[in-house]
Structure 1
Amino acid sequence: MRRGVHRGRVALLAVVVSSMMLTVLGRLWYLQVVSGPYYARAAADSRLRTVPLPAPWGRILAADGRPLTADALVGRGGLETWYRADLAGRAGVRELAVDSRGTVTRVLGERGPQPGNTLTTSVDPRIQRLAEQALAVVAAKAGRESTGAVVVLETSTGRVIALAGHAGRETHGGAMGLDTESLSGASGALIAQRAPGSAHAITAAGAAAAFGFGRRTGIDLPNEATGYIPDSVHPEHGPAAGQGEVLVTPLQLATAYAAAVNGGTLFSPRLAMAVVRPDGTVVRTIAPPAAGRVAASPETMRGIRHTLAAISSRGSALDVHGGPGTSWSACYVPAETPRYVVVVVSSRAGGHAADSAARTMREGIPRLSTTRGT
């Protein structure tokens, strides 16, 4: 009898012990097999740190190979935005081992950052500086409320040689119809939409749309405006008079003037010339594409060229009023064999302010060219 009871107790104990062992083994299996990857990752995370290594941005160079310092062209809202993919580079990474307190114990590995590419431009820094100085003189005479812009294009290629703007102290766009948060420096040449006055006479003998008015030029800068050409205009304020509802940007007017002397090609202007890797190899070259041809007769084009060249050769610019408080000026440099077209617009600076700035450009550019030996 006792022997049977003893055997029963032993069997019960064996069952209990076996159950406990199975429970422990089951838990171990769960921790090792099912939850193992989770705990492995948690352990790794507790002793590894990944540190990003920012990539140096590529440089933006002027035509002379020096860094371009015109902030309005380079910074936010400028070339850095348009060519971000080329300039940004690729960030690197560094893996560090740390202890339980977060102290770095050693570097486990590193992939260095890849610098961004270099962007070369057609901006002549001396002509750019001359444009900025011309606007500064106008602003100094007219006061802080004045606004203005200067555009210089190479007539045969559509390349941008200089692009400058003065935003004044506008708070809600004001005289030039601009959002001054966007009007940082040269952007005034892209988004200032004003009635162009008699500077619009270039299209008096042809359709304004044929000269690119009413649509973006496609320049490699953001925030460009389209301008505006109405479907119909009042007879007393027709587009040939340059008044009424017709609105153009300085850049649109410059491309139209360039087309008048280059055979009728409307270029989509470009500031950039090439994207270059850090090792000096060229990723790609950038040329202003032809955006269209001016559908005007040869006689019309010759008449326009003769009129504008005659104005420039007399030592003046086409100086006009583009509406209340706004003036435009346009000229070729040099007048006899136009290499550049210069367009100036000024608002709240007096009726002849643009002519003053244009005269500075017309007289100053040849001196700079002589200094360069070109």
Structure 2
Amino acid sequence: MTNIPETGRTSRITIRLVVIQILVFSLLLTLGGRLWYLQIRQGDEFAAEAAGNHVQQVVQPAVRGSILDARGVPLADNETRLVVSADRTELGRLPDDGEAVLASLAELLGMPVEEVTNRVRLCDAETPQPCWNGSPYQPIPITDEATTQQALQIRERAEDFPGISAEPTAVRRYPSPEGANTAQVLGYLSPVTDEEVEETEDTDAPLLRSDQIGRSGLERAYDSYLRGRAGVTRYEVDKFGSVLGEAESEPGEAGANLVTSIDARVQAVVEDELAQAMEAARDEFDDISGRNYEADAGAAIVLENDTGRVVAMASAPDYDPNVWVGGISAREYERLTDEDAHNPLLNRAIQGQGPPGSTFKVITATAAVNAGHDFDDTYDCSSSYSVGGQSFRNFESSSYGPITLGQAIEVSCNTVFYGIAHQEWLADGGTDPVDNPDDWLFRTAHDFGLGQPTGIDLPNEAAGRIPDREWKQDYWEANEETWCDIADSDRQDYEARIARENCTEGMNMRAGDMLNFSIGQGDVLVTPIQLATVYAALGNGGTLYTPTVGRAVIAADGEVIEEFEPQPSGQLPADEETLGNLRDATAAVMTTGSAAWRFGGWPQSEIPLRGKTGTAEASGDQQTTSWLATYSDDYTVVMTISQAGTGSGASGPAVRNIWEAIYGVGDDGSVDPDAALLPEPNRDLPRIDENGTIVPEQDEQPAQRREE
């Protein structure tokens, strides 16, 4: 046996003790650091979470405010329905993630299993509609059309339907008074997302996971007024969920009501006339394309001239806004978004853009006068105008010889405006422009408010386009590479020839560009609401107004929170003489000019009408678009129908019928004031009773008649 020296053994023991001490010290240090991190660094966060685990909140959704027409008639309000909802959290605890429960529920409700399943799945980038884009932690509505018997079965057989509830709930309703859908103007609601809740946490009006918010139209534009504030009651509970007491509560506040300038009666007429005009156009044969007109989309607007308030706004095709209530079905969503549906969700009155055709000529005529051309001079109205080897022809009219600018508007002579545009182009230097060219045509179009949004109180308004020199340069820079790639190829087709020209000269303002611009063709784009504001300004003496739909916000107790006054946005660049000449010329359009065949027998001496027809040509196999802009001393009515033919041909009868309904004009030209829907603009808000209730005018009429 080997003897180990005592000193060696002592040394090894000492080393072991030191190592053990280091390990113990390291462990204590680690535990201390972790304790500091949990208690100090994240103490507040965990304390809040711990408190949250012992506090549960019950949310009482606020009653959303109503949207009313100018007479107080509801366009959107609420009704109590039996809503069946699913709790994803509770369903997720089941072995099959709730598949069996949802299948049983679908059978009870008489709904396809797939539709029920789709409604409770969460939306993401790869999940198509329908799906739930709200918080996964709040009940997801499956249907708001449950019967009393179905609701009772769900509640009585709770063990068979875990995670499923059936409760009476106030849901949105779009009653379509007088048959007026007003779908694209009203918009729709959908649940808030987690991101939206987080974004508003530190604001004065935070969103709750149970909230629904407006996604388009007035529902979106005035959401902060309409939504109100949900009531929240917080309860202290133990770990078993038993209530220990009430922690605190925040009382709810009903949403305010929005009174609009829409008149539901006029709205219904405008929607119906637009739809009938499109139907009639589809029965007409187009000699140019060799097929019937497609008439695939359209829009119509009635505007108050001296306020800019919207009396009616229709977009076609339209849809029933109630399809969004309670969650849209897969079949309905596919129908609305199908390519053949022509996008009924689009509000073409403010988002539809296209060349305005000859309705643009009032702008060109104003530019001509401002550039020094006399309104009453004579200009040659030939059948065509040639420049650079290309012939530009009249579309709606024949050769009239020497005529004035007013007569050129009356008969819609293109070549008069071609000649003026060509002269102005040459005066500015042609393809080699002078420094700071006058650009009267472009400048005047901008001064008429075109090329920018009107500022209407509806979301996603399109800006239109005035293709001036700046736009031309930007467009060329954006497309130069593509054009030049085509130019370098061996292609010899029409597109290749145009690409070669654009590759080297696309930044230049060419004579043809100016000629097309002068009659509202080429790259010019306007929206119906822009054109309506232009003609309303002609009707009121030259003031451009920001168009509005909202008239006033009224609290649930009847207090007027805010009343929206008309907002002027500019003045037309025309003196009184020019405005008078334009009014005379547009009056002649209706009596002896291009719209006369549609307005024969109109009581012009009692109710003067003025207007301008427009037929916008399209490229490729697209058919011409019909435009008709008309105005009285009180209102402006604009209608456009895509691929429907001429301005007066397709839109003329419908626009006349709208005017007849507004003023009570019969087929024989007689005026019946009792038949008039709105012979003068509505200047007053609806009556509010002593309880704060907004009283629809239609409810007052019988009493008024009895008093008389």
TM class, shorter-chain normalised?
Answer: 0.7 to 0.9
1:39 and 1:302 mapped to 2: Cα distance?
Answer: 75
The 1:98/1:242 distance shift into structure 2, 3 A limit, reads same
1:358 — aligned with what?
655
Aligned counterparts, 1:112-127, within 5 A: 112-127=251-266
- 1:352-371 residue CA offsets vs partner (Å, 9 max, x unmatched): 32223222212222128725
**Which amino acid counterpart does residue 308 of structure 2 have in structure 1?**
G
Secondary structure, counterpart of 1:137 in structure 2: helix
Residue pairs, 1:203-214, within 5 angstroms: 203-206=363-366, 207-214=444-451
Tell me by how many angstroms 1:231 deviates. Answer: 1.5
Aligned equivalents of 1:285, 1:170: Cα separation in 2: 35
Could you say which residue in structure 2 is the equivalent of 1:322? Answer: 616
Matched length: 332
Q: Secondary structure at the match of 2:676?
A: helix
Q: CA deviation at 1:105?
A: 6.9
1:97, 1:108 within 8 Å by CA — same for their partners in 2?
A: yes
Sort the Cα spacing of 1:125 and 1:39 in 2 relative to 1 into closer, same or farther, 3 A.
closer
**1:284, distance to aligned residue in structure 2 (A):** 1.4
Query: For the Cα contact (< 8 Å) 1:138–1:349, is it kept in 2?
Result: no
**CA-to-partner distance for each residue in 1:213-261, whole Å, 9 max, x for gaps?**
1111110001111111122565443433121221111111110001112
1:171 deviation in Å? 6.8
SS in 1 for 2:365: coil
Deviates more, 1:293-302 or 1:141-150: 141-150
What is aligned with 1:155?
A: 305
| TM-aligned CA deviation for residue 205 of structure 1 | 1.8
Q: Which moved more, 1:205-214 or 1:43-52?
A: 43-52
Residue 291 to residue 354, structure 1, CA distance change in 2 (3 Å): same
Given the alignment, which residue of 345, 352, 357 partners 1:184? 345
Find the aligned partners of 1:217 and 1:124 in 2 and give their Cα distance. 21
Kept in 2: contact 1:86–1:275 (CA 8 A): yes
C-alpha contact 2:539 2:634 (8 A) present in aligned 1: no
What amino acid is aligned across from residue 370 of structure 1 in structure 2?
A
Offset of 1:160 from its aligned partner?
0.7
Question: Cα offset for 1:372?
Answer: 5.7
Residues in 1 aligned to 2:336 and 2:257: alpha-carbon distance in whole angstroms: 35
Alignment counterpart, residue 200 of structure 1, candidates 349, 352, 360: 360
Between 1:295-304 and 1:355-364, the stretch displaced more is 355-364
Cα separation, 2, equivalents of 1:263 and 1:344: 22
- Deviating more after overlay: 339-348 vs 140-149: 140-149
Q: Equivalent residue of 1:204, what SS?
A: helix
Q: Distance in 1 between matches of 2:339 and 2:575?
A: 39
What amino acid does structure 2 have at the position aligned with 1:184? L
Q: Which residue number in structure 2 is paired with residue 265 of structure 1?
A: 543
Does the 8 Å CA contact 1:90/1:116 hold for their aligned counterparts? yes
Q: Deviations over 1:294-338 (max 9, x none)?
A: 1112221111111222334552763331123211011124xxxx2
Q: CA RMSD in A?
A: 3.1
Query: Whole-Å Cα distance in 2 between the matches of residues 39 and 193 of structure 1?
Result: 55
Aligned to 2:125: none
Give unmatched runs, 5+ long, in structure 1: 1-29
| Structure 2: unaligned runs, 5 residues or longer | 1-34, 76-175, 177-181, 188-214, 283-293, 319-334, 367-443, 470-508, 601-610, 619-623, 665-673, 681-708
Contact 2:266 2:677 (C-alpha < 8 Å) held by counterparts: no
Paired with 1:195 and 1:283, the residues of 2 have a C-alpha distance of 41
Of residues 632, 636, 639, the one that matches 1:344 is: 639
How much has 1:131 moved relative to structure 2?
0.9
Superposition deviation, residue 73 in structure 1: 1.2
CA 1:173–1:44: 2 relative to 1, 3 Å: closer
**Amino acid of the structure 2 residue aligned with 1:268:** T
Q: Which moved more, 1:153-162 or 1:312-321?
A: 312-321
Identity over the aligned pairs, expressed in percent? 38
Q: Is the 8 A contact 1:202 1:257 kept in 2?
A: no
Q: 2:663, 2:679 within 8 Å by CA — same for their partners in 1?
A: no
Correspondence for 1:58: 65
Going from structure 1 to structure 2, the CA distance change for 1:101 and 1:296 (only over 3 Å counts) comes to same
TM-score where L is the length of structure 1: 0.79
Distance 1:369 1:292 in 2: 36
Whole-Å separation in 2 of the counterparts to 1:219 and 1:307: 29
Whichever residue aligns with residue 640 of structure 2, its letter is V
State whether residues 311 and 331 of structure 1, in contact with CA within 8 Å, keep that contact through their aligned partners in structure 2. no
Kept in 2: contact 1:276–1:282 (CA 8 A): yes
